[in-house]
Amino acid sequence: MSQHSVEQVEVAPGEVVTQHLVEVPMSPSRRIGIGAAIVVIGLIAAVLLGKSAGSSSTRFDLNGSGADLTVPTFSVPGTGLIIACGVVIIALGVVQIVRGFGKRALRYVGIAVALLFIVAFLTWAGTEGKQSVQVGSLLQQTLFLATPLILGSMAGLMCEKTGVINVAIEGQMLFGAFAGALFGTIASNWLGLLAAVIIGGLAGALLAVFAIKFTVNQVILGVVINAFALGLTGYLYDAVMANDATSTNQPAVFNPIKIPLLGDIPVVGSLLFNQTIITYLMYVIVIVIDVMLLRSRWGLRTRAVGEHPKAADTVGINVLRLRYRNVILGGCIAGLAGAALTIGSVGQFNKNMTSGQGFIALAALIFGRWTPRGALGASIFFGFASALQTALSLLATPVKIDSNLLQMLPYLATIFAVAGLVGRVRAPAADGEPYVKG
């Protein structure tokens, strides 16, 4: 039952291309496998969570901190809602087993399953009835933790769409965090922001020169740049910051700016529109990249260079220059991600303060199949997992959940993702291959 559809795509202003999309049907074993997995998730929700849930009803508090207009807290019948969610998930799984969803529909089904499971889980967590489940602050925390990840994955996207693997996001973030804290203290936090972006860009330039000019293996290069960043920022921290923290490592942090009108919307307003400048920049960057990648000359060329540099070169695109530009821009974004960790949150810089977030951003990029929206979603998922772990440690859940095991989940999910259990992941075809003319 291969479906054939025709779609008009505007690849560049004025250039409309007709794409014939042929949807290859999924193999029966794969269809049933995915369906069975969904059914298992549903069973976990309905049986395991439903059975172990406490007897109280769950109170939800949707208001985050700092909201002027609030919505009242409300209670839901605990066990009933959990089992309802589980049953819906099982039903979706059964439909998948019996007739299978289309490729695009399956993606939404996946998101729906995840959301339903989260609702069931949060309800379960609150069924002891001692505290209300603070959904508002959970979401605020999610966005806060996801912001550097989103920026980091956008940095990776810029590089990898154009054919340069960026494992050095971690190091670039570390440079950005350091520069943000240092210049944020000795000048102002705005200059700190600028410095973070510039230093991140320089780290990007380092990656670009070695990857593009000297054709060094890019995965290795990334690992080495990370080691270099860790060593250098650690060295400079000891040499500059450790002795004289007040005048070198105490930057003013950015305060949240409330957007008029939008910021007053209950729940959503305080979550999305009462944020620091870095978060707003993140919104802009994600939207711009998402739109530009598919609908601008730059985006078309970037994708062409990332998929088939030789063809791009043949039609007159300067492959190396475009790669340089994108990798350096990516570095700038990674620097901004680093700034989010210092002047965007705690202020101070500490040795190795990125603690692997650059790698998580990379995982989010791959989890999100090298698309801006996918990377955004995956970053939010990772942020949510960390935020949930903090939230659960404050809640008395019916069964104690070990926070370490919970923290493993995003990484396990990523392994499942790249193993193709949620559909095959394919990098840009020329990603990681140096382009040598001739």
The binding site for another protein (CB under 8 A) comprises: 160, 165, 167, 210, 213-221, 223-228, 230-232, 234-240, 351, 356, 359, 362-363, 366, 402, 404-405, 407-408, 411-412, 414-415, 418-420, 424-427, 429-434
Q: Smallest gap, in angstroms, from Cβ of residue 374 to another protein?
A: 15
Four-CA torsion 58, 59, 62, 67, nearest 10 degrees: -160
Beta carbon nearer to another protein, 84 or 169: 169
Joined together, the tokens standing for residue 230 give 């860790």
**Least distance to another protein, CB of residue 404, Å:** 4
Closest distance of CB 212 from another protein, Å = 11
Q: What is the DSSP string of 222-243?
A: HHHHHHHHHHHHHHHIIIIITT
Q: Which is nearer to another protein, 222 or 335 (CB)?
A: 222
Q: How far is the CB of 370 from another protein (least distance, A)?
A: 9
Q: Which of 366, 151, 402 is nearest to 278 (CA)?
A: 151
Q: Which is nearer to another protein, 50 or 222 (CB)?
A: 222
Cα distance between residue 347 and residue 250, in whole Å:
6
List all residues 6 or more positions away from 133 whose beta carbon is below 8 Å from its beta carbon. Answer: 58, 59, 60, 61, 122, 123, 125, 126, 391, 395
Q: Which is nearer to another protein, 83 or 385 (CB)?
A: 385
Judged by beta carbon, residue 253 or residue 425, the one nearer another protein is 425
Q: Which token pair is 314? A: 């043949």
Q: How far is the CB of 194 from another protein (least distance, A)?
A: 22
CB 165 within 8 Å of CB 159: yes
Q: How far is the CB of 112 from another protein (least distance, A)?
A: 25
Nearer to another protein, 105 or 405 (CB): 405
β-sheet bridge partners, residue 8: 18
Whole-number minimum distance, CB 356 to another protein, in Å? 7
Smaller CB distance to another protein: residue 128 or 307? 307
Q: How far is the CB of 165 from another protein (least distance, A)?
A: 7
Query: What is the DSSP secondary-structure string of 242-259?
Result: TT-HHHHS-PPPPPPEEP
Residue with tokens 């943000």: 180
Helix (H, G, I), strand (E, B) or coil at 363: helix
Q: How far is the CB of 79 from another protein (least distance, A)?
A: 29
The 3-state secondary structure of 150-168 reads: HHHHHHHHHHHHCCCCCCC
Please say which residue, 119 or 225, places its beta carbon nearer to another protein: 225
Burial of 199 (0-12, 13-18, 19+ CB in 10 A): buried
Long-range contacts of 103-112 (CB under 8 A, 24+ apart): 103/23, 103/26, 103/423, 106/34, 106/423, 107/423, 109/38, 110/422, 111/377
Question: Residue 232, Cα to own-chain centre: how many angstroms?
Answer: 27
Closer residue to another protein in complex, CB, 315/436: 436
Q: Which of 271, 275, 268, 295 lies closest to 372 in space, CA to CA?
A: 295
